[in-house]
Structure 1
């Protein structure tokens, strides 16, 4: 009976498969120019791909925790990739999507509840926290592969721009997640190595970590520095500023576009 239950606990959910299908179909539509509105197709492709990456991020935490000794993650539905199973679907999915729509920032979600007392060993705890943002890093590497492999011949302009913008989201999410701020994965990586006294004093700050990072990003100097880091990383991966800018321009199809990023309509 338990064996059947564990199989069901790891079965990929139809919700995730539906989102993945939207990503595949709209990605093909962007590639083929098979849409009266390229911008709408880019919007649906990037948004669904972003949600897929959020699901994989949370799955990576849960899967690593499972191997670390927390067998409860299966019963919670975390291994099904269903975004509705997360502790805070609002924090994990809704808010990050809103932030992308508002301004193109890869805001980290945060919401699988790991029963840390079941896991022994500091390295395991650090690895569980690192697994999520490392998924964003992997996603960014895949998105930018055509750029750093110089394999852009034949890639339609709209698809190229969409990949560039998606890469920007993944890189910004990875950087934010790796910040050693309470409540974010970066702090989760170093927390097991801190003294009990420091951990106890810092614990009440965790709910405010993401809020404080977000508040700091409203300061123009901090925002400018952060996006300079993102741009430099993307540049090292072969993605130009213009390509990410045009990707964001296409994504926000409801806004007035400018001539730089015009792509042929299908």
Structure 2
């Protein structure tokens, strides 16, 4: 492994940990605001990444960061929808909070990146090694968060997108949708991920995430208030 690949892999891993931790924190905060204290009671209403990391998921994040293979995850936030005034709508709000937090992180990261590149580096009359490191980190941070937002909004269980779609459907359709994915379990997600790795042509993830990522990137770029 070259020094450059070690450096980029380390930055990628750090951004994944930060982005996923804030993603899970957003789920916990949304649940608390809607009346469910389950996540708070179990220590998940926290910005400390150690409270959100899953041992196996973190190991897979390392493979993803340094070998560009695999898929990692954090511990899911426990939610008790019976504590919401409207459990159907409440689960949708809690679910969308995670991807929205990633979009917000991308917007903040992009604005900071623009500030560093357009203002701080010219003011310093050239980039220092530290400023180059910061700008590279922010670039990766934006890319990671946009990818997490797009991926998690795919309507496939157990991703947030499936729960958001379920909340948007009429109650009868929602029940049938939930029962379908309850029977199928993780297999649809495993199937589409393996498709991307094994087959030589684009699968559902690429076909859906590609245009959606472009849309999110445009939204993020418009947020730079000094452009």
| Contact 1:146–1:152, Cα closer than 8 Å, also in 2 | no
The number of equivalent residue pairs is: 201
Give 1:104 deviation, angstroms: 8.0
The alpha-carbon distance between structure 1 residues 234 and 68, as it changes in their structure 2 partners (threshold 3 A), is closer
Q: In the TM superposition, what whole-angstrom CA distance separates every residue of 1:224-250 from its partner, at most 9, and x where no partner exists? A: 646744773576356xxxxxxxxxxxx
1:195 to 158, 166, 174: 174
Higher RCO (CA 8 Å, separation ≥ 6 residues): 1
2:17 to 24, 27, 51: 51
| Contact 1:87–1:113, Cα closer than 8 Å, also in 2 | no
The alpha-carbon distance between structure 1 residues 42 and 152, as it changes in their structure 2 partners (threshold 3 A), is farther
Is 1:169 the equivalent of 2:149?
Answer: no
Q: 2:26: which partner in 1? A: 60
Give 1:211 deviation, angstroms: 1.8
The alpha-carbon distance between structure 1 residues 49 and 150, as it changes in their structure 2 partners (threshold 3 A), is closer
Inter-partner Cα distance in structure 2 for 1:119 and 1:174: 25
- Structure 2 gaps of 5+ residues are 122-126, 222-227
Give 1:191 deviation, angstroms: 1.4
| Contact 1:77–1:85, Cα closer than 8 Å, also in 2 | yes
Give 1:126 deviation, angstroms: 0.7
| Contact 2:147–2:213, Cα closer than 8 Å, also in 1 | no
TM-score, scaled to structure 2: 0.71
Q: 1:232: which partner in 2? A: 214
1:70 to 36, 39, 64: 36
Is 1:98 the equivalent of 2:73?
Answer: no
- Structure 1 gaps of 5+ residues are 1-36, 239-266
1:180 to 155, 160, 164: 155
TM-score, scaled to structure 1: 0.62
RMSD: 3.3
